[in-house]
Amino acid sequence: MNYYLLIPFLPLAAFLINILFGKSLLKENAHWVAILAVAGSWVISVATLIDVMGGKTLNQDLYTWVSSGGFKASVGFLIDPLTAVMLIVVTTCSTLIHIYSTGYMHGDNGYYRFFSYLSLFTFCMLMLVMANNFMQLYFGWEGVGLCSYFLIGYYFNKKSASDAGKKAFIVNRFGDFGFGIGIFVIFLTFGTIYYEPVFSQAGAFATKTVNFLGYDVHLMTLIALLLFCGSIGKSAQMPLHVWLPDAMEGPTPVSALIHAATMVTAGVFLVARCSPIFSLSETALMVVALTGAITSLFAATIGLVQNDLKRIIAYSTVSQLGYMFLACGVGAYTAGIFHLYTHAFFKALLFLCAGSVMHAMSGELDIQKMGGLKKHMPITYWTMLIASLSIAGVPGLAGFFSKDEILWMAYSGPSPVGKLVWLSGTLVAFLTAFYSFRLIFLTFHGKFRGTHEQEHHLHESPKSMTIPLMLLCVGAVASGWVGIPALIGENLGIHNYIAEFMKPVLGHPEGHGTHGEEMMVMLVSVAVGFAGIGLAYFMYMMRPDLPGKLATQFSGAYKVLFNKYYVDELYSAIIVRPTIWIARNILIGVTDARIIEAIVNGVPSAIGGFSRQLRKVQTGFLHHYALIMAAGVLIVMGLMLMRSW
Amino acid sequence: MLPKLFFGYFAFAIIVLSLLVITRRNPVHSVMWMLLLFFQIASMYLFLNAEFIAAIQVIVYAGAILVLFLFVVLLLNLREELLTNRFISAWPVGLVFAGAIFAGAVSAVAAFVPNFSGQYTVDVINRETHTKALGQALYTDFLFPFEIASLILLIAIIGAIVLAKKRMRS
Amino acid sequence: MVPLNWYLMLSAAVFSIGVFGFLTRRNIIIMFMSVELMLNAVNISLVAFSHYLQDLRGQVLVFFIVTVAAAEAAIGLAIIIALFRNKATAHVDDMNEMKG
């Protein structure tokens, strides 16, 4: 028995304990079980990381889940550098957010329910990243989706929250449909759904095509794009990004854990995990890169004008996820995973700070009604400022290293769209810096714009919340130091550790460019970051009247951005309303009333009519029964005699 | 020749007595004829070298079951029984069915050829005595069914008491 | 030596008489006696088989049939008493309540 196996099963045990005994026994102490379990998982994850750094890997089946003909699926674990990094990300964020939640959710009615869902989520997420076959991956994938649904709709008596939960679930269905078919195609092609044989044989199918609806489709492109469908849904990429901003209806720790640090990055993990397949298809990679680039630009522009604190961060998440796909799309999977890893820290930190602000503002989320919170909540201010500096790409902080790595890979890599996505990535870096600091300036600087009552209530959050903030802040600063690019590191004798660590799994494409070009890319990205911060300072600190003027002058563009490009309205018009119309008029009106009810009511009445006839046989007279019995004896006798003749 | 004569007598007596049992108007007479019938059957069992079975035929059937029948008949008021029809109006149907079953059984018997021979010849049984031989079979090979039979009897006792006892007026 | 088939014919005849009595008599006690008659018919054939095939298993079966017949008589007669107490009749064609 291997101690790695405890990593997912500790949270599962915590879930079972909390869901069974939480309501009656544990009540206000429910967090202890959950925190101990997830902290235990974290400790083992660290041990695992050390083992893996020592060159140890593991690919072990624990239990045969399905065995049917040639199809076999099991509960099995694959531990390699990619898994190890994901384990650290998931368990670290999960542990800190569990601790934070004890303060944030204090006094809530569903305290034990919240923690049991968090544990279940952690279990599913760990199953997802530790899987050694696609079936278990799919199990974890749907499991985290389910927990996301539970937790978005955690305040289920609030209609917007339960609607948001449903929206997340239904939108994900679109992506998971493709993902499921992708797994079927993998099984049809390779005859197995285990990673190891699939990835090692993928090269043999590199040029194979299949006939699909009359077209010859490159098989690997087909598989890669179907799998990418799942990623689009889960990681909220265009055009299925609509659920993530609404998912902010859930409690803030949930937004931080599920909708920023872990679950939504599962799509990136999937692409990285399946990199042997994606790498065989230039088309698929191009689709991934362009989807990422478009999404990141698109979400960043929306983020510029939103006023809801959490939604701005949500759009920032969508944008940063686009960044990670952009990296994967240019073949720099390591850079994508590196950004995933740094992003988990600073984005979780941003959300938790937002939660802290919400806590102080009694649930108020409109940044137009805040301002000047700096002096009331210094810890929240400083941590959030560092997180924002990190996301803006200020040199030395985590976000700088991962973002720079992505941009350099895009610029120098072999991808045909590399230069294009580099340009859009640079633009996004500018926009990101701008809206992040717009948020900081509007929330923490200037004068308080809310009610007097709210101002009176302002306070710094309790220790259980601020300590996780400070710990995450360390991550937001230092987590990037494992991936210092050669340009800087060479002179200091520091390697790009993460790239070397991930090389056996994800490879490491060398950029084709001179040091001068690399320096140029880096300086540009730093420059646009500072430019964004500067512009935000100019517009919101020096000339606070300017944003309003701009909004009226460019009211058309402003409205489009403010209404998120009308994507929700578009989907409502082309998908939701026609579906409801069909459901109401055709399914209920015709299928249900005329066909199904005719069958449902017809069968019983036919049986009833037949029974009424049959009941006449039951006269109640003993002799009739005796005669029938004798007749039965005769029939049996006759049959036996006939057989013997 | 002598055995065939004996069999002829028994067969004749058993069939006539059976017919008498089912055709008598008065149930008491039926029970009496049945008593006689059971003695005839027991005698025939002796003729077939099965004295233990003959004994339980007399003791259980004649001694216990028929006495029970007699008690029940006497408990019931059967005065009007003697004035009504014995058979249902559709009795020919019953006759046809019974005849068909008889014909079927006879045709099956006609085709039957005994092709098996066990170890319990008349000599063996005579040497061991019939009761001991049967007892050995019952307490070894058939021990489990034997125990179940005792359970069935227990259930019957309880069931009979529960069914026949007068309901308490609550 | 009497052939086995003669016993079997006798058994069939008694069984058929029992069937006839069960199918046609109105009095439930006589019907019940017809059932006993049928059981005895089977016993005759079993004992005859046992004798001619030189195997005791037939007689063991007779033993069990007698046991079950005793149990059945006790239960059946108890039912008849209960029935007579409620309906004041022993004629089954006066009753038609055995239906769903």
What pLDDT does residue C100 have?
Answer: 57
Q: Which of residues 101-160 of B touch C (CB under 8 A)?
A: 101-102, 105-106, 109-110, 112, 114, 116-122, 133-134, 137-138, 141-142, 145, 149, 152-153, 155-157, 159-160
Sign of CA dihedral B70, B75, B80, B86: negative
Is residue B99 a part of any domain in this protein?
Answer: no
Is residue B38 a part of any domain in this protein?
Answer: yes
Q: Which two tokens stand for residue A396?
A: 């030395």
Q: According to DSSP H, which parts of A445-514 are helical?
A: 452-457, 463-478, 486-492, 497-506
Q: Which of residues 595-634 of A touch C (CB under 8 A)?
A: 615, 618-623, 625-627, 630
Is residue B148 a part of any domain in this protein?
Answer: yes
Q: With an 8 Å Cβ cutoff, are C99 and A620 in contact? A: yes
**Average pLDDT in the A445-450 region?**
79
Q: With an 8 Å Cβ cutoff, are A641 and B101 in contact? A: no
| Percent share of chain A, pLDDT over 90 | 2
Interchain CB contact of C100 with A (< 8 Å): yes
**Average pLDDT in the A267-284 region?**
87
Range scoring the smallest mean pLDDT among A190-204, B7-21, C37-51: A190-204
Q: Tens of pLDDT along chain B (170 residues)?
A: 888 899 999 999 999 999 999 998 888 889 999 999 999 999 999 988 888 999 999 999 888 899 988 888 887 766 766 777 788 888 888 899 999 999 988 888 887 877 778 788 888 888 888 888 888 888 988 999 999 999 999 999 999 888 888 766 65
Q: Which of residues 602-641 of A touch B (CB under 8 A)?
A: 623, 627, 630-631, 633-634, 637-638, 640-641
Name which of C19, C92, C100 is nearest A622 (Cβ-Cβ): C92
Give ∠ CA A329-A335-A339 in degrees, rounded to 5: 105
What pLDDT does residue C44 have?
Answer: 94
CA A307/CA C40 separation, integer angstroms = 98
Burial of A61 (0-12, 13-18, 19+ CB in 10 A): middle
Instruction: Say whether pLDDT at A471 is over 50.
Output: yes
What pLDDT does residue C65 have?
Answer: 93
Name which of B19, B34, B87 is nearest C25 (Cβ-Cβ): B87
Can you say how many angstroms the Cα of residue A192 is from the centroid of all Cα atoms in its chain? Answer: 26
Residue A486, amino acid: A
Mutation for testing the A interface, residue in C23, C38, C87, C99 having most A CBs under 10 Å: C99
A229 by DSSP, 3-state: which?
helix
Crossing angle for the helix pair A111-130 and A81-104, to the nearest 10 degrees:
170
Taking alpha carbons only, the member of B21, B37, B14, A623 closest to residue C34 is: B21
Question: How, if at all, do strands A209-212 and A58-68 pair?
Answer: unpaired
- Please indicate, yes or no, whether the overall pTM of this predicted structure exceeds 0.90: no
How many angstroms separate the CA of residue B22 from the nearest CA in chain A?
Answer: 16
Q: How many domains does chain B have?
A: 1
Is residue B92 a part of any domain in this protein?
Answer: no
Closest residue in chain C to residue B101, using alpha carbons only: C16
pLDDT, one tens digit per residue, over A449-463 is 777 777 777 788 888
Closest residue in chain B to residue A642, using alpha carbons only: B108
How many angstroms separate the CA of residue A599 from the nearest CA in chain C?
Answer: 27
Q: According to DSSP H, which parts of chain C are helical?
A: 4-24, 28-53, 57-87
pLDDT, one tens digit per residue, over C62-93 is 999 999 999 999 999 888 888 888 777 777 77
| H or E element, residue A594 | none
Residue A260, amino acid: A
Q: What is the residue extent of each domain of chain C? A: 4-90
Name which of B88, B104, B111 is nearest A637 (Cβ-Cβ): B104
| Residue B56, domain CATH | 1.20.120.1200
Instruction: Say whether pLDDT at A492 is over 80.
Output: no
Chain C CB contacts of B138 below 8 Å: 60, 63
Closest residue in chain C to residue B97, using alpha carbons only: C20
pLDDT, one tens digit per residue, over A379-437 is 888 888 888 888 888 888 888 888 888 888 888 877 778 788 888 888 888 888 888 88
Residue A49, amino acid: L
Chain A CB contacts of B111 below 8 Å: 644
What pLDDT does residue A1 have?
Answer: 47
pLDDT, one tens digit per residue, over A542-597 is 777 777 787 788 888 778 777 777 888 888 888 888 888 888 888 777 877 788 88
What pLDDT does residue A475 have?
Answer: 83
CA A394/CA A350 separation, integer angstroms = 16
Longest Cα–Cα distance of chain A, Å, equals 112
Is residue B88 a part of any domain in this protein?
Answer: no
Q: Which two tokens stand for residue A372?
A: 């000047």
**Confidence label for A511 from pLDDT (cuts 50, 70 and 90):** low
Chain C CB contacts of A614 below 8 Å: none
**CB within 8 A of A232, min separation 6: which ones?**
A175, A238, A239, A240, A267, A291
Q: With an 8 Å Cβ cutoff, are B81 and C33 in contact? A: no
Q: Which of residues 51-80 of C touch B (CB under 8 A)?
A: 51-57, 59-60, 62-64, 66-75, 77-80
Instruction: Say whether pLDDT at C17 is over 90.
Output: yes
What pLDDT does residue A403 have?
Answer: 86
CA Rg value for chain C: 17
Is residue B147 a part of any domain in this protein?
Answer: yes
Higher pLDDT residue, A306 or B37?
Answer: B37
Distances (CA, A) of A329 to A343, A437, A505: 18, 29, 16
Q: With an 8 Å Cβ cutoff, are C96 and A620 in contact? A: yes
What pLDDT does residue B13 have?
Answer: 94
Four-way CATH pick for C4-90: 3.40.718.10, 2.170.16.10, 1.10.287.3510, 3.90.1300.10: 1.10.287.3510
Closest residue in chain C to residue B50, using alpha carbons only: C47
CA Rg value for chain B: 21
Q: What is the dihedral of CA C39, C44, C47, C49, to 10 degrees?
A: -110
Is residue B169 a part of any domain in this protein?
Answer: no
- Which own/partner pairs from B86-93 qualify as long-range (CB within 8 Å, at least 24 positions apart)? B86/B23, B86/B25, B86/C25, B86/C26, B86/C27, B87/C24, B87/C25, B87/C26, B88/A623, B88/C24, B88/C25, B88/C26, B88/C93, B90/A623, B90/C24, B91/C23, B91/C24, B93/A627, B93/C23
Beta bridge partners of A77: A60, A131
Instruction: Say whether pLDDT at A510 is over 80.
Output: no
Q: Are A226 and A182 in contact (CB under 8 A)?
A: yes
Name which of C10, C57, C71 is nearest B156 (Cβ-Cβ): C71
Q: Are A408 and A515 in contact (CB under 8 A)?
A: no
What pLDDT does residue B10 have?
Answer: 92
HSE toward the beta carbon, residue A167, CA cutoff 13 A: 24
Supply φ then ψ for residue A216, to 5 degrees. -85, 115
DSSP A60: E
How many angstroms separate the CA of residue C29 from the nearest CA in chain A?
Answer: 13
Q: With an 8 Å Cβ cutoff, are B111 and A630 in contact? A: no
Q: With an 8 Å Cβ cutoff, are B101 and A634 in contact? A: yes
Taking alpha carbons only, the member of A148, A341, A390 closest to residue A248 is: A148
Interchain CB contact of B48 with C (< 8 Å): yes
For all residues of chain A together, what is the average pLDDT? Answer: 84
Higher pLDDT residue, A247 or C98?
Answer: A247
Give the number of beta-carbon pairs within 8 Å between A and B.
25
Interchain CB contact of B16 with C (< 8 Å): no
Q: Which two tokens stand for residue A325?
A: 């796909």
Q: With an 8 Å Cβ cutoff, are C97 and A620 in contact? A: yes
What pLDDT does residue A456 have?
Answer: 77
What pLDDT does residue A311 have?
Answer: 87
What pLDDT does residue A442 have?
Answer: 85
Place of tokens 């050995």: B136
What pLDDT does residue A31 have?
Answer: 81
Q: Are B27 and B78 in contact (CB under 8 A)?
A: yes
Name which of A623, A633, A640 is nearest B101 (Cβ-Cβ): A633
Helices and strands (DSSP H and E) totals, chain B: 8, 0
Chain B CB contacts of C59 below 8 Å: 50, 52-53, 134
Higher pLDDT residue, A568 or A295?
Answer: A295
Q: With an 8 Å Cβ cutoff, are C69 and B61 in contact? A: yes
Q: Which chains pack against C, by 3+ Cβ pairs within 8 A? A: A, B
Place of tokens 């007598």: B9
Domain with B34 in it: 2-83+119-164
| Percent share of chain A, pLDDT over 70 | 98
What pLDDT does residue A305 have?
Answer: 83
Helix, strand, coil share of chain B (percent; to 5):
75, 0, 20
Q: Which chains pack against B, by 3+ Cβ pairs within 8 A? A: A, C
pLDDT, one tens digit per residue, over B76-102 is 766 766 777 788 888 888 899 999 999
Chain A CB contacts of B101 below 8 Å: 630, 633-634, 637
Q: With an 8 Å Cβ cutoff, are C92 and A623 in contact? A: yes
Q: Which two tokens stand for residue B65?
A: 């079951």
How many angstroms separate the CA of residue A631 from the nearest CA in chain B?
Answer: 7
| H or E element, residue A262 | none
Q: With an 8 Å Cβ cutoff, are C100 and A615 in contact? A: yes
HSE toward the beta carbon, residue A24, CA cutoff 13 A: 4
The count of residues in chain C is 100
Give the number of beta-carbon pairs within 8 Å between B and C.
230
Mutation for testing the A interface, residue in B85, B91, B93, B97 having most A CBs under 10 Å: B97
Q: With an 8 Å Cβ cutoff, are B100 and A644 in contact? A: no
